[in-house]
Amino acid sequence: MRQYSLFENQAKGDKQEATDEKKPKDETLGSVPIAYSPLSIAELSFDIEATGRNPISDSIVGISLCVEKGSAYYVPVSHAHGPNVTDALVILKETLEDESIPKVGHNLKYDILILRQEGIHVKGILYDTMLASYLLNPNKPDHSLENVGLEYLMYKKRPFTEVLGKLHSFAEVPLDEATQYAAEDAALSMELKNILFEKLKNEGLEDLYFNIEMPLIYILIDMEEEGVRINKERLEELSKELDRELGIIESRIYAIAGESFNINSPKQLQKILFEKLGLKPLKKTKTGYSTGMDVLEELSKTHELPMEILNYRTFYKLKTTYVDALPKLIDKKTGRVHTSFNQTVTATGRLSSSEPNLQNIPIRGDWGTKVREVFTADEGCVLISADYSQIELRILAHMSDDEGLIDAFKKDIDIHTRTASELFGIAKEAVTDDMRRVAKTVNFGVVYGISPFGLSEALSIPPKEAAAFIEQYFDKHPGVKQYMENTVKAAQQQGYVSTVMGRKRPTPEINSHNANIRQQAERLAINTPVQGTAADLIKIAMINIRNRLKEKNLKTKMVLQIHDELLFEAPENEIEIAMGLIKHEMESAMTLSVPLRVDIGHGKNWSEAH
DNA sequence: GCCGTCACG
DNA sequence: ACGTACGTGACGGCA
């Protein structure tokens, strides 16, 4: 093929020594014709440079490649003063789309997503060093290439900010320097790959990686690219409505307080509540007296202001975080909202969602409904919502092998009502709404690693009464008690806890001499296998559903995951078949000692579908 | 950049 | 005597 000139600027990723230690010595690159002969490439590490796009030409600035350990290339695409190489992408397409060539990279979801916008559909096995680092230790807050390189190779990468200096875009960085910086990323990820994947194997995390996390990358890409439609005009109406509402509440608050002040300032609010009005401060924060929800709810029995404040905050939150924020995030090209699903954030194995976070859209109350109605299906389509019923308690039943819990789920009994009848020692028919509410809180508490203090706070009852509930619960569920003791013991001995699929979370504080820290570690040791297994489960379901939808050539698209719920957009003529498929795949994603139950529905918007 | 607060599972 | 339910992300205020 042609275009060898593309690689005139290819250069070695020049590495800086972190310490006096080892590190790849200088090798000359020669003129290896990389992208032209996919058959000769065994493995390809690549990375998009940098921060995605050239703000002026709105295309990829460049791509760095590593086909051989220790050396790498930078292929400028829309780099200022660089050769004009729009052909670069055309040439690389063949290699990137070659299913037989494994791809190595750090945060491949990002690079693949960018390439898709250029019409390149990366295929093949993915070795993502960021994901590998995450599976090896999900407690770490930062899995950036900088950090991972430092931890596993003691290699210090040149900081991007230093390369950028005062320039506005990576595209303006002189080509020589850009090449060195960019090539380093691809080379470093390639260097880390063997180390990290060897460790994954030794830790028994290979199956989790290749069967769950790796295929999930492609699904998250699909979901992010697909996005979800929201009704901008309706949001603008809601915003005005909230403005009026907030204005009314605001003047009421100033009237009651006898002066105007910044309601959003906890500091000013404290002055009004606890100094001017002389209300009792019930709780302290690091910085002063708490004005949190629980406190204001309690104080509302004494004075009318706290309730107004809570009211104000509810509307203010709705307006700033959702109603006003969402329209700004509508993509101009697609007209839809595209979240980012992060696969390497949570310590338990869950996903997280950001910019915008679509996993915390309001659902409670009239305004919850109003906001969810804004999430709508395209013309000729519906939204399908499918959520696991009581998933964490079912997983607890499975993991603890508790006879009573398993029996309840096998008989499909309302679990909170059943717990209430056990706690209060009465027939299920005699359980009142209030008893059920208490039992529901206890059931949640059990999954969180219950403590008398925590439960007493949640129920606003004396710790002694809470302790009595817990004792009664364990009396009826010895299997659960045993599970908790075993899990804590296992954490003490192994230093980590694990999920059904073998996902691990280290528990470094489990033997702490500080009781608070130790108990905190015990609670998360108890909670993590349950929450993490639920995360494993829905990830498996997502993969199976995607495969089945593809197999059957259906146009139904997965658009959101909200921990125990999946949201789809489906053409109207596919509703029945898609719903059957989704429900079946979710309920059979794992075989546990209790049945899994999925509630599913559809409608023109998210509220109707739920 | 941290803190308090609050939206969700 | 201490201070807690588990897991997230976004907002405004304030240093």
| pLDDT for the residue numbered A555 | 98
Nucleotide at minimal C1' distance from the A359 CA: B8
Fold of A230-336: Taq DNA Polymerase; Chain T, domain 4 (1.20.1060)
Distance CA A265 to C1' B4 in A:
9
Residue among A528, A590, A471 at smallest CA distance from A211? A590
Overall average pLDDT of the A172-178 stretch: 87
Q: Could you say which nucleotides of strand B lie within 7 A of any protein CB atom?
A: 3-9
Whether A9 has a pLDDT exceeding 60, the answer reads: no
One-letter amino acid at A45 equals: S
Residue with structure tokens 């101009």? A332
The residue that minimises its CA distance to C1' of B3 is A287
Overall average pLDDT of the A117-122 stretch: 93
A33 pLDDT tier (thresholds 50, 70, 90): very low
Q: Rounded distance, CA A367 to CA A323, Å?
A: 10
Whether A34 has a pLDDT exceeding 80, the answer reads: no
**CATH class (in words) of the domain with range A352-390+535-609:** alpha beta
A15 pLDDT tier (thresholds 50, 70, 90): very low
A89 pLDDT tier (thresholds 50, 70, 90): confident
The residue that minimises its CA distance to C1' of B9 is A563
Whether A89 contacts A39, CB under 8 Å: no
Protein-strand B interface by C-beta, 7 A? A 266, 285-287, 290-293, 296, 310, 313-314, 317-318, 321, 359-364, 368, 531, 562-565
A56 pLDDT tier (thresholds 50, 70, 90): low
A166 pLDDT tier (thresholds 50, 70, 90): confident
Q: Which residues of A121-133 are buried (b: 16+ CB within 10 A; e: fewer)?
A: ebebebbbbbbbb
Tokens standing for A163?
A: 């390369």
The residue that minimises its CA distance to C1' of C10 is A321
A78 pLDDT tier (thresholds 50, 70, 90): confident
Q: What is the pLDDT of residues A405-430, one digit of tens each?
A: 999 999 999 999 999 999 999 999 99
Which DSSP helix (H) or strand (E) runs through A317? helix A305-317
Residue among A367, A358, A430, A417 at smallest CA distance from A390? A417
Residue among A368, A396, A397 at smallest CA distance from A606? A368
Q: Which residue has the higher pLDDT, A507 or A56?
A: A507
Whether A5 has a pLDDT exceeding 60, the answer reads: no
| pLDDT for the residue numbered A437 | 96
Question: Does A392-532 match A352-390+535-609 at the fold level?
Answer: no
A494 pLDDT tier (thresholds 50, 70, 90): very high
Distance CA A111 to C1' C8 in A:
25
Q: What is the pLDDT of residues A121-163, one digit of tens each?
A: 999 999 999 999 999 999 999 999 999 999 999 999 988 888 8
The residue that minimises its CA distance to C1' of C3 is A516
Residue with structure tokens 């338990």? A348
Q: Rounded distance, CA A208 to CA A280, Å?
A: 52
Distance CA A69 to C1' B7 in A:
47
Q: Average pLDDT, whole number, for chain A? A: 91
| pLDDT for the residue numbered A85 | 61
Tell me: domain A2-203, CATH 3.30.420.10, correct? yes
What percent of chain A stands above pLDDT 90?
81
DSSP-derived 3-state class of residue A278: coil
Whether A569 has a pLDDT exceeding 90, the answer reads: yes
Q: Which residues of A241-254 are buried (b: 16+ CB within 10 A; e: fewer)?
A: ebeebbeebbeebe
Whether A168 has a pLDDT exceeding 80, the answer reads: yes
| pLDDT for the residue numbered A37 | 62
Q: What is the pLDDT of residues A268-302, one digit of tens each?
A: 999 999 999 999 999 999 999 999 999 999 999 99
The residue that minimises its CA distance to C1' of B6 is A317
In the sheet with A598-603, reading across from the earlier edge strand, the strands are: A557-561, A565-571, A381-388, A598-603
Sign of CA dihedral A357, A362, A367, A370: positive
The residue that minimises its CA distance to C1' of C8 is A352
Nucleotide at minimal C1' distance from the A392 CA: B9
Domain boundaries, chain A: 2-203, 230-336, 352-390+535-609, 392-532
Q: At what angle do helices A478-494 and A463-476 cross, to 10 degrees?
A: 100
Q: Return the CATH number of A392-532, one of 2.40.170.20, 1.10.150.20, 3.40.1000.10, 2.40.50.140.
A: 1.10.150.20
Distance CA A515 to C1' C1 in A:
12
A165 pLDDT tier (thresholds 50, 70, 90): confident
Q: What is the pLDDT of residues A222-273, one digit of tens each?
A: 999 999 999 999 999 999 999 999 999 999 999 999 999 999 999 999 999 9
Distance CA A290 to C1' C9 in A:
21
Whether A591 has a pLDDT exceeding 60, the answer reads: yes
Residue among A200, A188, A193, A221 at smallest CA distance from A47? A188
Tokens standing for A363?
A: 């659902």
Distance CA A289 to C1' C15 in A:
18
| pLDDT for the residue numbered A38 | 65
The answer to which of A63-72, A345-354, A508-517 has the lowest mean pLDDT is A63-72
Q: Which residue has the higher pLDDT, A538 or A168?
A: A538
DSSP-derived 3-state class of residue A240: helix
Whether A10 has a pLDDT exceeding 80, the answer reads: no
Nucleotide at minimal C1' distance from the A524 CA: C6
| pLDDT for the residue numbered A13 | 42
Overall average pLDDT of the A576-602 stretch: 98
Q: What is the pLDDT of residues A434-490, one digit of tens each?
A: 999 999 999 999 999 999 999 999 999 999 999 999 999 999 999 999 999 999 999
Tokens standing for A319?
A: 């307006």
Residue with structure tokens 């489960």? A537
| pLDDT for the residue numbered A40 | 78
Whether A14 has a pLDDT exceeding 80, the answer reads: no
Whether A174 has a pLDDT exceeding 70, the answer reads: yes
Rg of chain A on CA atoms, in Å: 28
Q: Could you say which nucleotides of strand C lie within 7 A of any protein CB atom?
A: 1-15
Nucleotide at minimal C1' distance from the A285 CA: B4
